[in-house]
């Protein structure tokens, strides 16, 4: 049985801004949403909390350590064309140690900081959802 295909997968994502208010995005090199830009993140492991998973995934993918600030929201990541279904919360995070770099070149072709006003056209569903939730978060806070 395959997570996200045969049953609903559970993931998480890190919405990381730098001091210039730019968002860290990675260019995916695998499905789902291959060749789309995404926030760092991935699957939860058994007995792992969402916050633990976010920190682990960011470390694995970028080499940087993050602190989790707040939950931005939960995305229903449904891609009927690819027969994929995931549920994934996104978390506002800040880097506390290290400089992000591509640690998993088989998974990501590129990594860049983007202004929230000049984002790439092809962004994943979870990233688009996190951006919308961040806008609402900023209004509340």
Contact of 90 with 72, CB cutoff 8 Å: yes
Q: Domains (ranges, CATH) in the chain?
A: 9-140 (3.90.79.10)
CA distances from 119 to 24, 26, 116, 133 (A): 10, 12, 6, 15
The pLDDT, as a whole number, for residue 95 is 98
The pTM (predicted TM-score) of the whole model is 0.95
At a CB cut-off of 8 Å and minimum separation 6, what does 4 contact?
Answer: 32, 84, 85, 86
pLDDT along the chain (141 residues), means of 10: 91 97 97 95 96 98 98 96 94 98 97 97 97 92 76
> Going by DSSP bridges, is the β-strand pair 9-16/84-97 parallel, antiparallel, or unpaired?
parallel
CA distance 63 to 40: 11
Residue 78, pLDDT score: 94
């Amino acid at each position: 049985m395959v997570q996200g295909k045969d049953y609903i997968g559970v993931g998480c994502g890190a919405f990381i801004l730098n001091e210039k208010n730019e968002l860290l995005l990675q260019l995916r090199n695998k499905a789902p949403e291959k060749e789309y830009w995404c926030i760092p993140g991935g699957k939860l492991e058994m007995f792992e909390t969402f916050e633990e998973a976010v920190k682990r995934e960011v470390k694995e993918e970028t080499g940087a350590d993050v602190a989790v600030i707040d939950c931005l929201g939960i995305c229903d990541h449904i891609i009927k064309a690819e027969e994929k279904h995931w549920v994934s919360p996104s978390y506002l995070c800040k880097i506390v140690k290290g400089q992000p770099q591509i640690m998993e070149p088989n998974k990501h072709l590129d990594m860049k900081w983007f202004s929230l006003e000049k984002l790439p056209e092809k962004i994943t569903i979870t990233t688009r959802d996190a951006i919308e939730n961040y806008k609402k978060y900023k209004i509340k806070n």
